[in-house]
Amino acid sequence: MGILLNRTARVIVQGITGKEGSFHAAQMREYGTRVVGGVTPGKGGTTHEGFPVFGSVAEAVRETGADVSLIFVPPPWAADAICEAASAGVALIVCITEGIPVRDTLLAVGEVNAHGVRLIGPNCPGLITPAAAAKVGIMPGSIHKPGTVGVISRSGTLTYEVVHQLTGRGLGQSTCVGIGGDPVIGTTFVDCLGLFEEDPETEAIVLLGEIGGSAEEEAAAFIKENVTKPVFSFIAGRTAPPGKRMGHAGAVISHGQGGWPGKAAALAAAGVTVIENPARMGETVAAWFEARRAAGPTTPGKKPGGRKRGSA
Amino acid sequence: MIGRHLVTIQSGPKGDPVETVLVEEQVPIARELFLAFAIDRSLGCETVIASASGGMEIEEIALRDPRAILREAITPASGIWPFQIRTLTAGLGLAGRTAQAYHETLRKLLTLFRELDCSLLEINPLAITKDDRVVALDAKIGLDDNADYRQRLLADTARRDITDPVEREAARIGVSYVHLDGNIGCVVNGAGLAMSTVDILAHLGGRAANFLDVGGGADSAKVAAALRLILQDPAVKTIFVNIFGGILRCDVFARGLIAGLKLAGANLPVVVRLIGTNRDEGRRVLAESGLPLIVEDDLETAALRAVSIAAGGN
């Protein structure tokens, strides 16, 4: 079943007539996702790669019953696209666009929250639920496999790396969510952790963090109180120099805040297995499943390292 | 002063050349305050940070007396309310004309923070003069790079100020590059994987010479430009290429890499890890190039190989 995205999702692509929107709409359709159309202002009434194109999100929702919108609109117009989707009544907005000014994201996130809509991103690879053949994003579908590991990440290709390692060891994924690498984003680690904890299909959670901000510390506090499933984490940027922005707008250690040691310590104290070698992420998760199998069916809900949660 | 090197905490030990001098009127100071605007990433809003202890670093104030730091969250759509500013002036012990002047200055600074797409605006010290004026005596401004397209003047000025020629070239060709002090040059796609690549080299006993994210659309010209950035660093002994093909297909990247290596005239050992979309085609392109590349599939094996070569082994 997974989280946030299931088989019934009806997806539209904002910016479908652009190069990326066009390519990924076709890729998603090929993977099995129900892509019901696209939106490009001024191009309503046409078709593109077999998809009907609408002039506005409201029109697309009315005509197709779409409930998910994927955004490939360039940065100057992306916040407008997010707010248009929110006001048109879709339930889930996924914004891939990288490079949106923070000021615009702040306003868009405020608007999205006022509408009670969920936003994933911006600056993210999107999300995928393999068992539902549902992919709303830019990740290569072929590396995924249906299964019971939930993945949450601030990164794109690093997510593909862990998925590759998991799938290579026979471990499939319930849902993989790229929450985005910008300083301000819609859906957080904490939101996804809560959903994975409640999802009966998910048995273990992989959390890929990075330096900058305090999202990992907030995740740790939440895990300590609310998560009974085992959580495994790798945090990128352990060796990054302070004050330097490491590619992502949000990946920077500033004024001594947001460094690796604090994040790793907070997660470890919450019972999370912190993985230090990024080549051993899949192996570490596989070892837990192996140990559980060896121990038999009598020890469900146990954290790695033997720490047991009190039932909240 | 002009033409000399000025050494400060921010410049590092080498200092920066003085190109411009700003001459200001001398201000009769009664009190020195701290005032800053920043983005609160956790709350997803702008925040104003104020303190009565101006002239000190905010980290120092935070350590000495955290209660001396006042914060007000600003709702993006509605801005700051008068009651929030009253809370601040009361907390700072300002009244009457001074409180009014502070109120006006704070509003002007918030407008500046927003209209110039700042990521940080720090006034330290913000002086209260003996004649009850509020004057900014210093400013530290961080700009949101993502807003460069609508802040042309500021963006161009900031870019002109990049003194490191390599960083300036990286900004021009559109790759994320950070110089590090090791000897393994790195070419990676994606910021998270690029950081992880630097990390795994360190984990295995090596040291990366750089962080480099080539981004999604890595054609041969871009790869060649990225390789030249790496090769200008005389410390580099080997290059570690770690690419996870997604949108960027491995065969497309492999062609770019081969052309880039030839264009850049690279004759260092190159370890290549290429997986993901179209891996097999990518590997065939590498094999047919005739270049002596070391190709590995496994991340750890590949990283170990680079570490070993950089240490003088093979």
The per-residue pLDDT for range B256-295, each reduced to its tens digit, is: 899 888 888 878 999 999 998 889 999 999 999 988 899 9
Q: What percent of chain B stands above pLDDT 90? A: 58
Q: Which of the residue ranges A137-151, B158-172, B220-234 would you say has the lowest mean pLDDT? A: B158-172
Pairing state of beta strands B118-129 and B210-213?
unpaired
User: Is there a contact between B46 and A244 if contact means CB atoms under 8 Å apart?
Assistant: no
A251–B195 C-beta distance less than 8 A: yes
Would you state the pLDDT for residue A72?
96
**Separation CA A97–CA A45 (nearest Å):** 25
- Percentage, residues of chain B above pLDDT 70: 96
Residue B173 has pLDDT above 90, yes or no: no
Average pLDDT over residues B158-167: 73
Measured distance CA(A180)–CA(A249) in Å, rounded: 10
Query: B301 — phi, psi (to 5°)?
Result: -60, -45
**Burial group, residue B294, by CB count within 10 angstroms (0-12, 13-18, 19+):** middle
Which residues of chain B neighbour A106 with C-beta distances below 8 Å?
Answer: 39, 44-46, 76
Other Cβ atoms less than 10 A from the Cβ of A42: the count is 8
User: Within 13 A of B42's CA, how many CA atoms are on the CB side?
Assistant: 10
Share of chain A above pLDDT 70, in %: 95
Torsion angle in degrees (nearest 10) through CA of A60, A64, A67, A71: -40
Where is pLDDT greater, at B2 or A164?
Answer: A164
Residue B219 near residue B183 (C-beta atoms within 8 A):
no
Residue B65 pLDDT > 60, yes or no?
yes
Q: Are A240 and B194 in contact (CB under 8 A)?
A: no
Closest chain A CA to residue B215? A247
DSSP 8-state secondary structure symbol assigned to residue A310: P
Q: Do A208 and B77 touch (CB under 8 A)?
A: no
The CA distance from A64 to the nearest CA of chain B, in Å, is 28
> Which residues partner with A173 through β-bridges?
A149
pLDDT above 90 for B64: no
**Residue B50 CB burial class (10 angstroms; 0-12, 13-18, ≥19):** buried
Q: Which residues pair with A231 in a beta bridge?
A: A205
DSSP 8-state symbol, A39: E
Mutate to test the interface with A, among B143, B244, B300 (most CBs of A within 10 A): B244
Number of residues assigned to chain A: 312
CA-nearest of B198, B193, B236 to B216 is B193
Q: Which residue has the tokens 């050349």?
A: B17
* pLDDT, position A141: 93
Longest CA–CA span in chain B (Å) reads 80
Residue A308 has pLDDT above 60, yes or no: no
Residue B298 phi, psi (nearest 5): -85, 135
B178 close contact with A: CB closer than 8 A: yes
A166 three-state secondary structure: helix
Do residues B221 and B280 lie in contact, with contact meaning Cβ atoms separated by under 8 Å?
no
- Binary contact (B247, A218; C-beta < 8 A): no
**What is the C-alpha separation between B212 and B267, in angstroms, rounded?**
19
Inter-helix orientation angle B279-288/B250-264, to 10°:
30
CA B113 to chain A, closest CA, distance in angstroms equals 10
Least Cα distance to B188 among B211, B169, B220 occurs for: B211
Question: Is the Cβ pair A155, B192 closer than 8 Å?
Answer: yes
Confidence at A257, pLDDT banded by 50, 70, 90: confident
Omega within 30 of 0 (cis) for the link into B125:
yes
Residues 6+ apart with CB under 8 A from B31: B52, B54, B127, B128
Is residue A124 within 8 Å of residue A94, measured between CB atoms? yes
Q: Say yes or no to pLDDT of A211 above 60.
A: yes
State whether residue A210 is helix, strand or coil: strand
| pLDDT band of B218, cuts 50, 70, 90 | low
**A291-306 pLDDT tens trace:** 999 988 665 554 554 4
Pairing of strands B270-276, B293-295: parallel
Hey, is the C-beta of B10 within 8 angstroms of any chain A C-beta? no
Q: What is the pLDDT of residue A305?
A: 47
Give the model's pLDDT for residue A307.
45
Average pLDDT, chain A: 92
Return the HEC string of chain B.
CCCCEECCCCCCCCCEECCCCCCCCCCCEEEEEEEEEEEECCCCEEEEEEECCCCCCHHHHHHHCHHHEEEEEEECCCECCHHHHHHHHHHHCCCHHHHHHHHHHHHHHHHHHHHCCEEEEEEEEEEEECCCCEEECCCEEEECHHHHHHCHHHHHHHHHCCCCHHHHHHHHHCCEEEECCCCEEEEECCHHHHHHHHHHHHHCCCCECEEEECCCCCCHHHHHHHHHHHHCCCCCCEEEEEEEECCCCHHHHHHHHHHHHHHHCCCCCEEEEEEECCHHHHHHHHHHCCCCEEECCCHHHHHHHHHHHHCCCC
The whole-number average pLDDT for the span B1-22 is 81
A300 to chain B, closest Cα gap in Å:
32
Termini Cα distance of chain A = 24
pLDDT exceeds cutoff 60 at A17: yes
The answer to whether the CB of A211 falls within 8 A of the CB of A263 is yes
Checking DSSP bridges between strand B176-179 and strand B134-136, what pairing results, if any?
A: unpaired
In whole angstroms, what is the distance from residue B122 CA to residue B34 CA? 8
For the entire predicted model, the pTM comes to 0.91
Flag whether residue B79 sits within 8 Å of chain A, measured between CB atoms.
Answer: no
pLDDT bin (cut points 50, 70, 90) of residue A245 is confident
Q: How far is CA A268 from CA A55, A264, A299, in A?
A: 50, 6, 21
Which pLDDT value is given to residue A34? Answer: 97
Of residues B241 and B170, more confidence is placed in B241
| Segment among A49-58, A65-74, B60-69, B204-213 with least mean pLDDT | B60-69
As a whole number of angstroms, the distance between CA B149 and CA A88 comes to 28
Q: Do A279 and B299 touch (CB under 8 A)?
A: yes
Mean pLDDT value across residues B160-184: 84
**pLDDT at residue B216 in the model:** 67
Mean pLDDT of A76-97: 97
Per-residue confidence (pLDDT) for residue B238, from 0 to 100? 96
pLDDT digits (tens, 9 = 90+) for B129-143: 999 999 999 999 989
**Averaged pLDDT, A178-189:** 96
Between the alpha carbon of residue B212 and those of residues A98, A234, B159, B192, B259, the distances in Å are 17, 20, 19, 11, 18
- Positions of A annotated as catalytic residues are 248
- Please name which of A118, A83, A117 lies closest in space to residue A100, comparing C-alpha atoms: A83
Task: Please count the residues of chain B.
Answer: 314
How many Cβ contacts (< 8 angstroms) between chains A and B?
167
The SS3 of residue A208 is strand
* A91/A247 Cα distance (integer angstroms): 30
Beta bridge partners of A136: A127
Q: What is the pLDDT of residue A311?
A: 38
Nearest CA to CA, how far is B98 from chain A (Å)? 30
The ipTM value here is: 0.88
